[in-house]
Structure formats: structure tokens, C-alpha cells
Structure 1
């Protein structure tokens, strides 16, 4: 892939991320209200093994879908896919590395870090893509 012609697809990436995290957020909220117990402050809480379910959903939805399908529902909806820099098939390790850095890239400062890094790098990668050696491209 010629880096000079590589597009950041910033707008599409933002929409894809919003779709993915809204889906995860909605699942988590519904799960907590359906299977949680009332808390002292009037809300609901899950504890013990029940508390692992939202994480398992996150893991199945993001790293596993990206590994198996090179896409999440958000990426698929806007016509993007994740590929390995070296052209080989994505590995589960790459997708896990990519998503563990969401804590810095996306969740901290509402995605500002990812936006700045994508705009600043030659290959238009966020921190997770740099660490995992992946690229986000149009299908």
C-alpha cells in the first residue's frame, strides 16, 4: 500500500467507533438493569462472576470480531476493515493489543488522543494500530 495515498478516513472511523461503543454501552446498561441488584444509591450493580459478562461481551465483540472478520459492526457499516501492516492475516494478539490501547486512544479525553495521533502519523494510525502493526482501510 502506498502511504502517500493512504487516507485517514477520520470521519468514518469516528462513526464506526461511536457505533461500536454505543452498542457496548447499551448492552452493559441493559445487562446491569436485567441481572443486577439494587444498590443503596438507587441504581443497580453486578458483582462476582456476573460482573465479568460486560467484559466478555467487549472481548467477543471487539477483539474476536476484528480477528475473525477484520471488522466490527461499526467498521462494517461504514465500509472499513482492519488489516495487518505486513499483509498477512490478522492475529488474535494484534486485535487484543489494538483494543487494549482503547483506554488511552478512545476512552481518555473522548477520543482526542486517537484523533491527534491519526492526523499526525504517516500511516494514519492510532496508538493501538501502531502497537499492533495494523491499518484501518476502506473495503
Structure 2
């Protein structure tokens, strides 16, 4: 693994996640209200159209990170995820997927698990970063 100095950057990481997931949930809510069918339990979208919010998450979170080096939230606050195993530091597709598949665990409850792992790991990594062999640095 690469030798790299990191900082916890808890506030920046919180703000970045807040920005990114506000965009994702905003899209989901708007999509549901626009294309959903109202039922007694709320709005629903069924069939293939129900996958569109998942595709949006995938494009916005995973593909932006792989092809542009960071999501909009990370770019705004000056953070960048990097690979600890690729010499150029660029994330692979699988690393980005691994990082974000564990977002629900890292963000539960109220980000406590992410905060604890970032604060108590040598390279300030959350669970997704540990699994993907990545970390987040200041740009």
C-alpha cells in the first residue's frame, strides 16, 4: 500500500456526504412525485422505471468518482478519494463501487459508524474505504 498522510476531515466529509446525498435524494423525491402513482401508502413507481433512481445514484456517485476523481460534494469541499493500491492514486471502478456499497452502514446511525472508523484508523478510513483500499485526502 502507498505511504500517505491523511487527516480525518470529519466536517468536510460530513458536508460532502450531505451535498451528494441531498442531490441523490432530491432526484429520487422529484422523480417519485413526477412519475409515481399515488396509492394509499404514498407514491410508487414499478417495473423498469423504478430502477431509474438507482441508475442516477450509480452515475452520480460511482461514475463521477471514477471518471472525474470526485463527486460534486467532494469537489466543493476540497476532498478527493484515492486508491492506496494503484500507484497513480486513481480509483478503479470496483473500488468506487465497494466504497459506496457500504455508505448505508457508514452513515448509520447519523454517521456514527463512519465517524468512529475515520477517527480510529491509521489512514482515516471509513468501512467502505477499508474494504476498497482507498482513503480521502485534501486537494
* Structure 1 length-normalised TM: 0.92
**In the alignment, which residue of structure 2 is the partner of 1:76?**
75
**In the alignment, which residue of structure 2 is the partner of 1:105?**
106
Structure 1 residues 47-66: aligned runs within 5 Å: 47-66=46-65
**In the alignment, which residue of structure 1 is the partner of 2:12?**
12
Are residues 1:90 and 2:69 paired?
no
**In the alignment, which residue of structure 1 is the partner of 2:30?**
30
Aligned-pair distance for 1:103? 2.1
Cα distance in 2 between the residues matched to 1:99 and 1:73: 15
Aligned-pair distance for 1:101? 0.9
**In the alignment, which residue of structure 1 is the partner of 2:137?**
137
Aligned-pair distance for 1:2? 5.4
Deviations 1:101-122 (A, max 9, x none): 112111x212110011000001
Cα distance in 2 between the residues matched to 1:64 and 1:13: 19
Please provide the CA RMSD for this pair.
Answer: 1.3
Distance change in 2, residues 1:21/1:132 (3 Å): same
SS of structure 1 residue aligned to 2:110: helix
* Structure 2 length-normalised TM: 0.92
Aligned residues: 136
**Unaligned stretches of 5+ in structure 2?**
none
Alpha carbons 2:114, 2:127 under 8 Å: kept = yes
Aligned-pair distance for 1:126? 0.2
Cα distance in 1 between the residues matched to 2:44 and 2:116: 35
